[in-house]
Amino acid sequence: MKMKIGNIELENNVILAPMAGVTDLPYRLLCKEQGCGLVYTEMVSAKAIYYNNKNTKLLMQIDERERPVAVQLFGSEPDLMAEMAKRITEENPLIDIIDINMGCPVPKIVNNNEGSALMKNPKLIGEIVKKVSTAIDKPLTIKIRKGFDESNINAVEVAKIAEENGAAAIGVHGRTREQYYSGKADWDIIRQVKDAVTIPVLGNGDVFAPEDAKRLLEETGCDGILIGRGAQGNPWIFSRIIHYLETGEVLPNPTLDEIIDTINRHLEMLSEYKGSYTAVREMRKHISWYTKGLPGSAHIRREINSTQSMEELKEKIEEIKFI
């Protein structure tokens, strides 16, 4: 269960994947409480760091309690990325790992030749990894996809280049950029990457239950599990997977009371972190994830999506008990 990325020792190999608009500080802390072995920040633009963007500072805020933590950068200019990685790791000793996003499928990122667009340019990936890994004294990891599209499946080639140029670990999402999050994740590409490199490989895609995590490890031989959408509204997935991998026993899902208590805590933490106006609006999506599958939850979600104030939202959360 324990694993190492570079010189960073993880308590276990069950890891929260970076997700824009989801893995902010309050949510990372909730996942850490459930035993998560490593957390990643939302992706941060290297250019935005360079220009001292105010929102970017918030994205990179780290709490000692969530460590070890990886800050995920995105960009496509090797020198700028190396300089910004060096700057933030020197300014903030709480950063344990730098990760580079090479998998984001969003058009505005891809059209800027960043995120998963980098999969089309393995040579540039090599330059970025080399410059960044040389510039920092922390482990550097990258997160990639299977390839850009079905006619360009090159995860194995990219992984080898990353290892040769100093990457300490590699996360592989078993879908192409063109797939976004649709269809079934190809776990075989994760196995191929694992067979091709000696650095740790983190498998990503379609882990929604403890049994999925065990199958991913067995079928691919990967060293760790990155959990993205499976953790949305479900921080308990980490404690449940860890328990299952250690004992073979599947713990029950959280009770309704546990879900409501966590929603309330999440709201309070988010309000402290971003202010009540933003917290109310951001909690709407989280509550829809927390309540997914509960009987009668569609009605509550509709009502919550129109709430404007903290008081109103808290009232609606209480109503979840009676759905």
DSSP string, 158-225: HHHHHHHTT-SEEEEEEEETTTTT-S---HHHHHHHHHH-SS-EEEES---SHHHHHHHHHHH--SEE
Residue that the structure tokens 């990258």 belong to: 142
19 is in an annotated binding site: yes
228 is in an annotated binding site: yes
Residues with Cβ within 8 Å of 101's Cβ and at least 6 positions away in sequence, in order, are 18, 43, 72, 73, 74, 114, 115, 143
Residue type, 261: D
Catalytic residue among 31, 36, 104, 222: 104
72 is in an annotated binding site: yes
Per DSSP, the three-state class of 284 is helix
Residues with Cβ within 8 Å of 240's Cβ and at least 6 positions away in sequence, in order, are 209, 210, 250, 251
H/E stretch holding 141 reads: strand 140-147
Q: β-strands 140-147, 169-176: how paired?
A: parallel
H/E stretch holding 136 reads: none
18 is in an annotated binding site: yes
Q: Is 104 considered catalytic here? A: yes
Residues with Cβ within 8 Å of 158's Cβ and at least 6 positions away in sequence, in order, are 102, 119, 122, 125, 144
235 is in an annotated binding site: no
Whole-angstrom distance, CA of residue 15 vs CA of residue 38? 5
Active site residues: 104
Which residues fall in the annotated binding site for FMN?
Answer: 18-20, 72, 143, 173, 228-229
Known binding-site positions: 18-20, 72, 143, 173, 228-229
